[in-house]
A and B are shown apart, each in its own frame.
Chain A
Amino acid sequence: MANFLERRVSPKTTSIISLIAIIFFLPFLLLVSYQTVSLLIRALGTPANIIVDTKTTLEDIDTTFFHAFAQGGEESTDMLAPVVSEVRALKPRLIRLDHIYDHYNVVTRSDGSLAFDWSRLDAAIDTISQTGAKPLLSLSFMPAPIAKDGNITSPPENWDEWSLVVQKTIEHYSGKNQRNITGVFYEVWNEPDLAQFGKWSVSDYITLYRYASIGANNATSVNRFFLGGPGTTGLYKNWILALVQSGNRVDFLSWHSYLENPTRFNKDQRDIISWLLPYPNFTLIPKLITEFGFTGGKDKRYGTTYAAAHTAAVIRQLISGRPQHLFSFQLKDGPNQEDGSGWGLITHEDNGTKPKPRYSVFNFIDAMTGKRLLLTGEGSWVTGFASSRNSTIRVLLVNFDEGGSHSENVPVTLTNLDPGSYSWRERFLFGRDVRFTEVVTDGTLKRDVFMAAQSIAIIEISK
């Protein structure tokens, strides 16, 4: 090849091509160098050295916020009906449904006027009620009979008809003389910024929202309900501020978070509070992450302990200072996802309605209720929090590695203990459950805990 080049191409041409190649590929080389350094830094992260001050109590820990779940519209049926008992065991407070208009044939046009058939959607709402949860209804998508060109992601031909659809929906589910459900959340649209769902501009979305709020305000004889949005694919400042500045009724703010790094959830919470400080009427309204996961794409890791550890690590980041509800997406796989790539906590009935690892996280962490204790020494991979309830101290540890392989021997030290004999129990979500007896003489108790990759453990210490 070199001989060929030497014979056919002049040295000057070769130099020019080399120069162009260097200029063209230099950015790629820099990118690769950056990613290599990032990987090295990650590999050289900080190991944890957990210290719990058993006498320094902080606020109460509330574990109800993560008992919220979303179900996507992978089938136009009552998807949760086959898994009611499994879902009920999750103790859900809220369950979110989207596609309520296009999957349940609610709206039809007859003789020029709109008609509403709630029977199919009612069945899905009844199923949610059977699980013990209340519904969060994503007012999506545009009913085909009122949409421009019948396209369900388009605006309506007549905005007043969209207002009417929203009004009738609220009156049906929140109406005192109809379904009579209290405290229903109505979220205007689902991921409006996504091309798949219409790629609405901010101003167009505000128009959509405005007519939805008109419909909400027209609803009569209804229980207390909440209207909000924008339910975007991420937390976007311009969407949030546009909504709070729009002058419309806004009872809650919502967004989705598909972020691999759990600390980003904490950052988002700090960001939205910071953005809303100049708007004191909105600072305290509920914030809802109405879908979350480590990626928005289908991924086989959703069927592994990777997803479970990610969920636990996110909960740890939000255990103090958080949105009102954190909705795990989603409750059940769609069909034809036997390869394990579905988002579900539970497999589809065609695949045995089997719980996946993530399913077990929520009730496991419920054991952590109590007074939060001061915990320091979290590392790059192993994080946690501690609590005290009924004379038992509990330390939750989660080892989440985005790379998927890091394991660690974690020193765990409890300080300011009264002298005496203590029971030390290590209870892993998917692993060992062992007990030791330890004697404390100087107020300190220390043991090393091996945390395998993507593992979650609760250490219980009692006298």
Chain B
Amino acid sequence: MKRVILIIVAILVLLAIPVTVFLVSQQQELRKRATPATTLSLLPATVETTTGESFSIDVRIDTGENQVVTAEIALSFDPEKLQAESITNGQLFPNILTSGSVDSGTASIAVGAPNTSQPITGIGTAAVVRFKALAATEAPVSVRFASTTFVGGLGEESANVLVGTTPARVTITGGSQETTVPLPTPTLSDEEESTQSGDASSSAVLIIAPEKNESVADELPTITGKAPPGSTVTLVIRSNPVTVTVTADANGNWSYTPTIPLVDGTHSVVASAIDPVSGQTQTSSTSFIVAAGGGNEASTDSATPVAGTVETTIFLLSLGFLLLLSGVLSRYGKLS
């Protein structure tokens, strides 16, 4: 009898070892694959300044558990009140991937970690934007993250790990001689301005389909989701950024079907919406794989230029004009 018990115990131990190893590895995998949890915010979140003065705002990143390699930051603001003078990288991101670009009402830059083996985690400055106050404001104006903002993370199901953004508010008073006086720096937990979407709440924007890492055979996959009823949902589909807006219906449902076929491979979607009631911006992202088995995509227009000659064109044009002239004048008997 003892022998039988011993054998059973031995079998149980032998079975328990691989099961334990499997469960532990699963747990480790769960730890490795933290869900997207990165937020971006602008600090200081409120600025008071005077017309003609310049001031800087930091783009702060909190990566949560994510391992971030890139951040493509795009900001939008009222061009009649504010002018972006410059945007450059912050200390946390030593690698400028695309040069800072400032335009009327926009500022953008793409920054990166030193390399893939040194991803960024933690809280710090991703970029620094310098503004000039152009005109006095009756009410505070916002500096917001555009829907094309993208934070790339390693080892996640979705390449874009950005889940929320916090804008800044700028109040400009008249005069030009006073010194810029930024208000005390609010924290990220400022509920009035916080726009983190995170896990779904009753008013959050959600992408329902395609699901994360879903493989779709259709090169024109319909993207569906939920958002606050009546809100405008901005969708950014990559890798070739396509930005479209759709409106959520009375039940909060929205959908979009691309009009241009998506190439085979991984694509990401970022959906953002402004709640019509609260005015808060919420974002959600996912990625999916198109496996339609399409052929080669045509090259971009940056092909090697082909040299041409003007002589042929001039000859053909001359010939055409001669024919036209002779035909028309002959018709009306003007030539003799």
Contacts and interface: CB of A to CB of B under 8 A. Distances in A.
B70 A25 contact: no
A297 B320 CA distance: 31
Contacts of B264: 245
Contact of B299 (A234, A277, A297, A374): A234
B8 to A, nearest CB: 46
B263 A241 contact: yes
B316 A28 contact: yes
Interface stretch (B191-199, B216-224, B233-241): B233-241
Q: Is the interface of B mostly helix, strand, loop or mixed?
A: mixed
Contacts of B257: none
Nearest to A286: B115
Nearest to A235: B302
B303 A233 contact: yes
Contacts of B299: 193, 234, 236-239
- Could you say which interface size class chain A belongs to? 35 or more
A260 B330 contact: no
A59 B96 CA distance: 9
A21 interface: yes
Contact of B330 (A5, A58, A281): A5
A32 B313 contact: yes
A364 to B, nearest CB: 22
A372 to B, nearest CB: 8
B150 interface: yes
Nearest to A255: B302
B224 to A, nearest CB: 20
Given A233-B304, A241-B239, A283-B112, A278 B327 contact: no
Contact of A321 (B97, B154, B239, B267): B97
A284 interface: yes
Contacts of A11: 331
Contacts, number: 196
Contact of B305 (A6, A266, A295): A295
A321 B300 contact: no
B327 A58 contact: no
A277 B72 contact: yes
A177 to B, nearest CB: 27
Contacts of B307: 295, 297
Contacts of A22: 324
A233 B302 CA distance: 9
14 contacts: A2-B334, A2-B336, A17-B327, A18-B331, A21-B320, A193-B299, A234-B302, A270-B98, A277-B70, A278-B266, A278-B268, A278-B287, A279-B239, A283-B97
Interface of A: 1-3, 5-6, 9, 11, 14-15, 17-18, 21-22, 24-25, 28-29, 31-32, 53, 56, 58-59, 193-194, 201-203, 233-239, 241-242, 245, 256-260, 264, 266, 268-271, 273-281, 283-285, 295-297, 319-322, 374, 376
Interface of B: 69-70, 72, 85-86, 88-89, 95-100, 109-110, 112-113, 115-116, 130, 150, 152-154, 159-160, 238-241, 263-268, 287, 296-300, 302-305, 307, 313, 316-317, 320-321, 323-324, 326-331, 333-336
